[in-house]
């Protein structure tokens, strides 16, 4: 409709950062649509919010219960407001002139939801497990909003990966280390012979059809092997945590592993965020972890530059820092993020 004969060819092609921003906008839009499911307009949604307070200390639980009480007084109005906010965040990030406002709103709203809607992701309850979505999807939205903040750097100062453009290489790598390291800690804290089996068995009862069957099969497979599987998973998560400090090619291999683990968690552990139950408010942490991995993907030029540095043709930076500008001064574009 948009005058295909004229318009698409005239528009600038989005770079890698912009593509990731659009992916984040897409997730917000999906959240907004999920928020419009029939269940969300009932008092059941307020009950779901209140359940997030369980196990939290008093100072953390009180605001959650207050928010649930508020939502329960006018569920239709409250939910319409939630959905509208998410829709506006999505459209603001998708619009180029409003991207900063959208990302700022995304961070603020996500942090509020993390506390008031997810009970801080359960990290204070002692029952948080990355298999079921810890440390909470909302905090990952906030982290992504910060990491994908538009950078004002000149082209010759392009960072080695997209996420580094907002807060610097070391800070963003430490954030990655903290995130995946905490996932490893949560996994170890939950390790017990029957822990994973109980988790999957409980999920199976909330699902239907083939997803329930998958959970039951996983519960059967993990019977009495829960501790060993948790230990292996924790080691893998630790490898992923330190992977971004490795040289380019090794970092890429670790990021591929991170995406694979995120996919496994999303399908087997989170059951696609519960979207097929009619009461899923978001796709949970799996897609967000994968999106984070994409934001840390070393740029191709960075690898070339690292190679040049080793052969004495380096223009800047250390060999382990895939700092980079493309050979031809060309910015990477959508579809080339993983090149």
Partner 1 sequence: MTGPGWLAGTLAAVMLSVAAYCVSRLICARPRGRTTERDVDTVHCAEGVAMAGMLVPSLGLLPGVMWEAAFAAAAGWFASRAIRARRRDGARTPPPGHYLPHLMESGAMLYMLAAVPAARAAGATAAGMGGPGGGGFGAGAFVFALFPLGYAVWTADRFTALRAPAPGPPVTGPPPLAPRLADCCQIAVSITMAYMLITML
Task: Give the footprint of partner 1 on this chain (CB under 8 A).
Answer: 1-12, 14, 18, 22, 25-26, 29-30, 33-34, 36-39, 41, 76, 80, 87, 90-91, 94-98, 208-209, 272, 275-279
* In the complex, least distance from residue 2 CB atom to partner 1, rounded to whole angstroms: 5
Q: Are 230 and 238 in contact (CB under 8 A)?
A: no
270, with CB counted inside 10 A (0-12, 13-18, 19+), is buried
Secondary structure class of 334 (helix, strand, coil):
coil
CB of 77 to partner 1, least distance (A): 11
CA 113, CA 281: separation in Å to the nearest integer?
A: 11
> Least distance from C-beta 333 to partner 1, angstroms?
13
User: Which residue, 14 or 151, is less far from partner 1 as judged by CB?
Assistant: 14
CB of 272 to partner 1, least distance (A): 8
- Of the pair 30, 246, the CB lying nearest partner 1 is at 30
DSSP-derived secondary structure letter, 332: P
- Least distance (Å) from partner 1 to the CB of residue 13? 9
DSSP codes joined into one string, 105-152: HHHHHHHHHHHHTTSGGGTTTT---GGGTTT-HHHHHHHHHHHTSPP-
H/E segment holding residue 74: none
Q: Specify the residue, 308 or 336, whose C-beta has the smaller distance to partner 1.
A: 336
Separation of alpha carbons 306 and 322, rounded Å: 6
DSSP one-letter code for 41: G
Query: Cβ closer to partner 1: 32 or 265?
Result: 32
Q: Read out DSSP for 265-293?
A: IIIIISTGGGGGGT---S--HHHHHHHHH
The nearer residue to partner 1, 42 or 216, going by C-beta atoms, is 42
CB of 278 to partner 1, least distance (A): 4
Cα 180 to Cα 238: distance, rounded to the nearest angstrom: 7
- The torsion angle over the Cα atoms of residues 83, 84, 85 and 91, rounded to 10 degrees, is 110
Which of residues 270 and 321 has its CB atom nearest to partner 1 in the complex?
A: 270
Task: Quote the least distance from Cβ 90 to partner 1, whole Å.
Answer: 7
Select 34 or 148, whichever has its Cβ closest to partner 1: 34
């Amino acid at each position: 409709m948009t005058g295909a004969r004229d318009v698409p060819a005239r528009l600038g092609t989005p770079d890698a950062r912009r593509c990731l921003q659009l992916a984040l906008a897409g997730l917000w839009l999906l959240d907004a649509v999920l928020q419009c499911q029939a269940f969300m307009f009932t008092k059941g949604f307020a009950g779901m919010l209140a359940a997030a307070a369980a196990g939290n200390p008093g100072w953390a639980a009180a605001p959650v219960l207050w928010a649930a009480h508020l939502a329960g007084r006018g569920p239709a109005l409250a939910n319409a407001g939630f959905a509208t906010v998410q829709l506006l965040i999505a459209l603001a990030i998708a619009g180029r002139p409003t991207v900063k406002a959208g990302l700022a709103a995304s961070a603020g709203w996500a942090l509020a939801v993390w506390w008031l809607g997810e009970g801080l992701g359960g990290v204070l309850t002692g029952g948080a497990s990355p298999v079921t979505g810890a440390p909470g999807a909302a905090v990952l939205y906030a982290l992504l909003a910060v990491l994908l903040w538009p950078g004002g750097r000149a082209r010759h100062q392009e960072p080695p990966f997209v996420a580094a453009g907002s807060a610097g290489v070391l800070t963003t790598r430490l954030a990655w280390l903290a995130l995946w390291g905490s996932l490893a800690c949560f996994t170890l804290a939950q390790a017990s012979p029957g822990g994973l089996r109980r988790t999957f068995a409980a999920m199976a009862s909330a699902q239907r059809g083939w997803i329930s069957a998958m959970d039951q099969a996983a519960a059967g497979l993990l019977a009495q092997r829960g501790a060993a599987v948790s230990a292996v998973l924790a080691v893998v998560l630790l490898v992923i945590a330190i992977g971004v400090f490795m040289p380019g090619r090794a970092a890429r291999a670790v990021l591929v592993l991170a995406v694979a683990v995120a996919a496994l968690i999303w399908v087997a552990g989170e059951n696609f965020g519960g979207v097929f139950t009619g009461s899923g408010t978001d796709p949970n942490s799996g897609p967000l972890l994968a999106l984070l991995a994409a934001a840390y993907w070393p740029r191709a030029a960075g690898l070339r530059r690292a190679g040049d540095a080793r052969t004495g043709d380096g223009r800047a930076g250390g060999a382990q820092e895939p700092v980079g500008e493309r050979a031809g001064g060309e910015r990477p574009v959508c579809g080339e993020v993983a090149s």
